[in-house]
Chains A and B, each alone.
Chain A
Amino acid sequence: MTSPKINETQQVSPKNTMFIIGMMQIGVGLLSFQRIAALNSAQDAWFPVLLTGASTLIIMGVIFRLLENEKPYGTQELFSMHKRFFGTIVGNALNVVAIAYQFMVGLVFLRAYIEIINVWIFPKLSPLAFSFIFSVIIWYLVMGGFRAITGIFYLSFIYILPLNLVDFYLIGDSHLSNLLPMLEHMPYDYLQSFFKMIPCYLGFETILFYYPFLKRPKEAKQWAMFGLTLTTSVYVTLCILGTVYFSHGELMTQVWPIISFWKSIHFPLFDRFEYLGMILWIWALIPSFALGTWVVSRGIREITGYIKQKYALIFVFLLNILFCTIIHNRLQINLILHYLSYVGFGFLYIYIPFLFFWQWILKKKRRRKHV
């Protein structure tokens, strides 16, 4: 069942890991995290945000070790790893869970984006029409293979970067004294903010699926770490900006503080910057969603062994469109996000260390057998 080694024409340079990881982590969570981070730890929110970012570096280290240790046994990815560790049946069941999770992540991102568009610009935009047309674009992209997806990651990185620079317009309105007194809260408050920040950082675990597509994967490690550091710095600076720009009471009333940021920027010929910002934000959505569906469709192929990826893809899109239409208000989106954050936490901080441990046990067992 192990798939053959990936052809070099399909592989990408290890540098791209930075763009993939960076852009996977930047999603709709970025638009709303400031309030959530400040919920428990007010002016010290930047600290748990930094801690969560640091913890992702550790998890990433574990993921890389896990994948590198897998080299002698076959394809270095989660699907075949599951099958090797737990046998075909249990392994495939776990694979189904993994792709269901990836599917939900993509779906929620898309649906939350549609919600933002609905709230801010086009109240009448139907999720059905948008998700349908969006799916056609993503289909085109995923059919181009992993290289095309990587290209889109690079492009979106370039497009989204200036959007973050724009936020520095607001430094003029900042009240630096809002950051004082520093580190005043109890460890328990930080812990709560730490957990609440985890969903924002999710997305980097997709490296478990595309690792074989990286040329010279050893080099990819440092780029992955760069990517994680970059997103951490983005989150921390935005968190500090949110603290100094809003008073705590005001921040608590904002659902999407970043969009309120943009709302305050205006140029002589361009009165409302947030409209541009939100439309540009689709560039954060396209690559993450494309990679998500790529993983899901590839997973379906790996599990069944006979369904081709392009047919699996159509099935995934139909499901996506269906769910996008069924979910029709913010409460439902928030509910899914809530549960998803638990699953994501469990997956990254519990399940991956567990896999690492299991791999180690298997290695011991095998060595004993040989001796």
Chain B
Amino acid sequence: MKRLISLISCILFLALSGCVQPSIIDDILMAEAEGLDYLGDNKVLGTITVPNYVTGGVSGSGGGGLPATAAMMSSASAITYDGKSLVEKLQVKGQKAIRVGKLRVMLLNKAYLQHGIRKLIEFRNQDPDVGRDLYLIMVDGSTKELLEGTYQTQIPISRYIYDLIFHNQEKNFPLSNMKIFMYKYYGAHMNAYMPIIKKQGKHIVLTGYALIENNRYAGTVMGDNANFIFKSLLETVNLGYYDYEYKPGQHFVLEDIQSTISYKVKNGNGAEPKITAQVKMSGNVRQGNPEIKTKNYYTKMKKKLQNHLENRMENMVAAFQKKGVDPIGLGDIARSYTRHFNDSSWEDHYPNAQFRAHVSIDINETGSSEMHDSSS
């Protein structure tokens, strides 16, 4: 009797699968990239791309060059209002049901960021269908053009962008996927940031980071050198590089930089809070300069670079303070170091905060050749 019941219950559980809507991979279109271009007057031009699983062409795949039963549609776009689920809107254009579960990148153009992203972010936070490791990206130019463009690579555009940003975030660019974005966006006394990409001929390039303050675009940090400074103020760097122009036209590069940061805050509730950042770096010099003697890297040049980095960090923070943005979250750091932190007065004190950076660099090695006194 009991066996019978267990058998029946197992069969019944199988029957449960009949209760819900199936999602068979061959019968859906998986939107992997969404792009939003703001047109003005609360109207948005939305574009999605769907990877095209076509077998054949590749040797060994056995497809014989014929398209498989999978999706053939590769992109669609439509005009809608801000905050609308694009997938829902484009369902009427979908050859098959479009699903959003594997969304990898979300592109927004500059006008959209200037218009405000609140509706979008709230929607992303509310919608459980989408994972939290997607990238929110600003596009310099039109997202539709970028998504529908042709590039040197055959790989779907969504993964192209994803890989591009992923590997750069291991080097000079700060980490920024949706989970970090949400952390900064909803957190008090900190501002979010997102990468900026641009279509350049047959390539996509990562140019810098856009800062978001109060839902809106609030400036940028451009270039890999500036972003190295930005990243080392934000988090631990593992494989950074910094191109130092020590005098006009003369460079050397500090590579494989490992850097850690710690902050100290004094007088967090005062009118002029004192924030000190202690940055410890270690790196190698591989691309030196024939002008510099090897032993000087460890002494003179190191000192110079330290001072230079300290200056740049302080200037960067001063620029943030001037704009009133706080992507580093200095306010949150001050909160964690101050008992009974005064939340309301921080906004007034932030521009007056005194920021000091102390950089100490440890040069591990200088490559496989040496420059002696005599060789110059």
Chain A: residues with CB nearer than 8 A to chain B?
119-120, 122-126, 129-130, 132-133, 136-137, 139-140, 143-144, 173, 175, 177-181, 184, 246-250, 252-253, 259-260, 263-264, 266, 271-272
Contacts and interface: CB of A to CB of B under 8 A. Distances in A.
30 contacts: A122-B21, A124-B19, A125-B16, A125-B19, A129-B16, A129-B19, A133-B9, A133-B16, A136-B5, A136-B9, A136-B12, A140-B2, A140-B6, A140-B9, A173-B180, A178-B336, A180-B336, A181-B341, A247-B184, A247-B188, A247-B332, A248-B187, A250-B187, A252-B186, A264-B132, A264-B179, A266-B131, A266-B133, A272-B101, A272-B131
Given A180-B336, A247-B190, A266-B133, A139 B5 contact: yes
Contact of A181 (B131, B187, B188, B337): B337
A140 B13 CA distance: 14
A125 B13 CA distance: 12
A180 to B, nearest CB: 4
A266 B131 CA distance: 9
Contacts of B21: 122-124
B300 interface: no
Interface in B181-203: 182-188, 190
Contacts of A119: 128
B372 interface: no
Given A130-B19, A250-B186, A266-B131, 20 more contacts: A119-B128, A122-B21, A124-B21, A136-B12, A140-B2, A140-B9, A144-B2, A173-B179, A177-B333, A180-B337, A181-B337, A247-B184, A247-B188, A247-B190, A247-B332, A252-B186, A263-B128, A263-B131, A264-B132, A272-B101
Interface of B: 2, 5-6, 8-9, 12-13, 15-16, 19-21, 101-102, 125, 128, 131-133, 179-180, 182-188, 190, 332-333, 336-341
B181 to A, nearest CB: 10
B162 to A, nearest CB: 12
Contacts of A122: 19-21
A173 B133 CA distance: 12
B119 to A, nearest CB: 14
Contacts of A180: 336-337
A182 B8 CA distance: 55
Which of B12, B179, B188, B340 has most chain A Cβ within 10 Å? B179
Given A136-B12, A143-B2, A178-B336, A249 B102 contact: no
A47 to B, nearest CB: 16
B116 to A, nearest CB: 18
A263 B13 CA distance: 26
Nearest to A137: B9
A119 to B, nearest CB: 6
A177 B332 contact: yes
B16 A263 contact: no
A20 to B, nearest CB: 23
A247 B340 CA distance: 18
B132 A249 contact: no
Contacts of B20: 122, 124-125
B209 to A, nearest CB: 19
Contacts of A120: 128
Contact of A126 (B19, B102, B179, B185): B19
A120 B101 CA distance: 11
Contacts of A140: 2, 5-6, 9
A249 B337 contact: no
A264 B125 CA distance: 13
Contacts of B132: 260, 263-264
B336 A249 contact: no
A126 B13 CA distance: 13
B138 to A, nearest CB: 21
A249 B188 contact: yes
Contacts of B337: 180-181
A285 to B, nearest CB: 14
In the A-B complex, list the 6 residue pairs whose CB atoms are closest, starting with the nearest.
Answer: A247-B187, A250-B186, A249-B186, A180-B336, A177-B336, A122-B20
Contacts of B16: 125, 129-130, 133
B5 A250 contact: no
B339 A184 contact: yes
Contacts of B341: 181
Contact of B125 (A132, A184, A253, A272): A253
Contacts of A137: 9, 13
A271 B102 contact: yes
B188 A248 contact: yes
A144 to B, nearest CB: 8
Contacts of A253: 125, 186
B186 A181 contact: no
Nearest to B3: A140
A227 B91 CA distance: 51
Nearest to B18: A129
B159 to A, nearest CB: 13
B239 to A, nearest CB: 16
B212 to A, nearest CB: 14
A139 B338 CA distance: 57
Contacts of B188: 247-249
Contacts of A271: 102, 131
A215 B156 CA distance: 63
Contacts of B184: 247
Nearest to A250: B186
B336 A184 contact: no
A309 to B, nearest CB: 15
Contacts of B179: 173, 264
A264 B132 CA distance: 5
